[in-house]
Copies of this chain bind each other. A is one copy, B any other.
Amino acid sequence: MDRTIRTEPLTAEAFARFGDVLEAAGAPDRTINEGLCGRFHDRARLDFGTGRAGISVFDAVPRHLPYDLTLVERHPGGSQAFLPMTAHPFLVIVAADEGGRPGRPRAFLSSGAQGINLHRGIWHGVLTPLAAPGLFAVVDRIGEGLNLEEYRYDAPWRVVRDGPA
């Protein structure tokens, strides 16, 4: 089996089965502040189950491509949004569920002006910034109960940057 994963551009359409892309794309839903601010309104499907929303800050060590992936995880109890606090593109790895286990991963590369909201229960790689500082605001579930399931693939996947070799 080919274990090479090529990065794809992060678009709302391609990402829809996994989550929401949070960006100022197209026309704003509203213009506020005397015309000086566009509001792209309520763009994330948030779901915190029996918990509540919280905002945390993540400070992650930057990775680089090619990137070897073995481990993915999911949060059965709630959605999780990653909002970069820099304009650096970051890597988003997700996988569809196949009977309780993650299938072949997909890897998306953000534009540098996008956040994401992973829907509840979606398999994903850990946070992988590609530049320092790897600083993100994270909106996820705060509450009791185990909210983490991990899966280790039998062999690593190699994520490479798409484009001319």
**Chain A residues near B (Cβ < 8 Å):** 22-24, 28, 32-34, 36-44, 46, 48, 52-61, 81, 83-87, 113, 115, 117, 126-127, 133-135, 137-139, 142
Contact = CB atoms under 8 A, between A and B. Distances in A.
Main secondary structure, interface of A, reads strand
Given A84-B85, A85-B84, A113-B133, A37 B61 contact: yes
A138 B81 CA distance: 12
A41 B61 contact: no
Nearest to A71: B34
B127 A115 contact: no
A39 to B, nearest CB: 6
A135 B24 contact: yes
A37 B127 contact: yes
